Amino acid sequence: MTTGRWAVSLPSVAMYLPFSFLYSLERESTLNISPFNTQLVVVTSGQLASILYLFIAQATLLSSRKERKQSFMLCLFVWSSSGIVAGFVSDLYSHNILGGDSHLFVRIANSTFISGLGLGIVAYCFGTIHKLRVEKSVYQSLEQILMKDSLNINESQNRATEIVTSNLNESLLPKVLKLQKLTSDLQKSGTSESLAVALHALELQAKDLQVKLNSTLTSIVQSQSQFSTKPAEILPTRKLMTGPFPRDLSVGTSFLILALGATLAQSTRNGLLGSLVGILSSVIIVTVLYILRTIGMRLNALGTGWFNAVSYFLVFGFQYLTTTVVQHSLTSLPYPYEAWYSALKTFFGVYLASLISTLVTEQNNSINIMKATNTEQLSQIESLNISHDQIQHLSSSTLVGAIQGQISGVIMALNVLTNTDGMQNSKRDLSKFIASTSELLGDAIWEIQQAGKKAHSR
């Protein structure tokens, strides 16, 4: 595992320090150091030394953190060693300057545990949020590029469509009308019954050709408006907060923060038993959160202001009750927390976990929307490219290609039939001649019909 620029940063340290300061104060309160202002001075000296150490470490050991990823073990060393510095300086100040008892091992162990986990969690949260923001920015840039390409292809396709429409109207349509006139004139001339039937079938084909041509023209014109050239709408953003509370009520993240916090605080305050009691309290609160989320989903009330207010009130109440019953009645902890203080810590722990969860969820949702939008645009561009190739093929076919040649060939053949000499010279093979003409006309009808289907499929 590696981390980058957020291994140590001003925002991450600023978020970590209040929790580290409070946990250190709790540690000092169990070491029988009084009065409170003495505890405050001891903790402050260690925290200031830790901040100075982190500043030096990020400029030396992690100097390249903004340019490339860093070794996780190196980051873990920096995080943990900042706790060693804090514990050592606190004990040095308390013992050598204030004349108190030395608790070097307890202070260093507690500070190392707090800094290693605390700075690591904060770095992970900030790094994840930064990664999501970068990905979102990349998808937004890609969306702009795809939209520009889509507009260019659409404009090129519209120009090609105008050319095809012009060719059909100005070149093919007059020939189709001439074709109908020739077949009609031939039927009026004196012909045998079999020839009259063949010419009548040819006339029906000519009329069918006109219908297919008009249908193709309509499909091509309508297809021009089927692709939207409007830019994608701005991503809909949901509020991160509902009143004073985070929108989402976190369960998993809350358990992580509450369990780690309880372990850190209780390990030096009440030993192993205190840690187990803290974890048990965390499990109880997380169970309450899970039940509240389930009820909120059934009532369709998750994310509403009133439901979040009720949920946080219940979290405070359950933790107050748990502390009163477990720590003060069922167990004999050396230094139990006051019920109101424990409930307040749990309240803010759930609040912080829910805020982080809400932010990460919102970023993930935005990225998923961007992915779906970009996938849709890529599909549209692919369809536009295929359609553009089809229109180009149709343009060449109507201008100098197969369709133009087939209809021109039919007209030439009918012109031969309208010539008296040609009629006389062709009587012996007239049925075959009409059949060949009909086949050419059928091919032209099929080509135009396929062009109409391709235009409509766009």
How high is the pLDDT of residue 431?
56
pLDDT higher for 325 or 395? 325
Predicted confidence (pLDDT) at residue 449 exceeds the cutoff of 90:
no
Helix axes 104-167, 36-60, angle to 10 degrees: 50
Rg (CA), the chain: 41
Q: Confidence band (pLDDT; 50, 70, 90) for 140?
A: confident
- Among 99-113, 175-189, 261-275, the range with the most confident prediction by mean pLDDT is 99-113
Cα gap 88→109, rounded to integer Å: 10
How high is the pLDDT of residue 427?
47
Cα gap 118→257, rounded to integer Å: 10
- Among 164-178, 294-308, 359-373, 393-407, the range with the most confident prediction by mean pLDDT is 294-308
pLDDT higher for 143 or 53? 53
Predicted confidence (pLDDT) at residue 286 exceeds the cutoff of 50:
yes
Q: Confidence band (pLDDT; 50, 70, 90) for 277?
A: confident
Judged by average pLDDT, the poorest of 82-86, 163-167, 346-350 is 163-167
Q: Confidence band (pLDDT; 50, 70, 90) for 415?
A: low
How high is the pLDDT of residue 439?
67
pLDDT higher for 179 or 369? 369
How high is the pLDDT of residue 199?
63
Q: Confidence band (pLDDT; 50, 70, 90) for 24?
A: confident
Q: Confidence band (pLDDT; 50, 70, 90) for 51?
A: very high
pLDDT above 90 covers what percent of the chain? 9
Cα gap 272→277, rounded to integer Å: 9
pLDDT tens-place string over residues 66-94:
777 878 888 889 999 999 999 999 999 88
Exposure b/e, 61-94, CB count within 10 A at least 16 = b: bbeebeeeebeeebbbebbbbbbbbbbbbbbbbb
Mean pLDDT (the chain) is: 75
Span 147-160, average pLDDT: 73
Judged by average pLDDT, the poorest of 75-89, 207-221, 263-277 is 207-221
Q: Confidence band (pLDDT; 50, 70, 90) for 363?
A: confident
pLDDT tens-place string over residues 174-189:
766 666 666 666 666 6
Query: How far is residue 401 CA from its own chain's centroid?
Result: 47
How high is the pLDDT of residue 85?
94
How high is the pLDDT of residue 446?
67
Predicted confidence (pLDDT) at residue 225 exceeds the cutoff of 80:
no
How high is the pLDDT of residue 1?
41
How high is the pLDDT of residue 74?
87
Q: Kindly report the CA angle at 42 between 40 and 43, in degrees rounded to 5? A: 65
Judged by average pLDDT, the poorest of 64-73, 119-128, 424-433, 441-450 is 424-433
Predicted confidence (pLDDT) at residue 358 exceeds the cutoff of 80:
yes
Q: Confidence band (pLDDT; 50, 70, 90) for 447?
A: low
How high is the pLDDT of residue 89?
93
How high is the pLDDT of residue 422?
46
Count Cβ atoms within 10 A of the Cβ of residue 446 and give its class: 0-12 exposed, 13-18 middle, 19 or more buried.
Answer: middle
How high is the pLDDT of residue 403?
60
Predicted confidence (pLDDT) at residue 53 exceeds the cutoff of 50:
yes
Predicted confidence (pLDDT) at residue 408 exceeds the cutoff of 70:
no
As given in the structure block, the two tokens for residue 331 are 């167990």
Predicted confidence (pLDDT) at residue 2 exceeds the cutoff of 50:
no
Cα gap 379→69, rounded to integer Å: 35
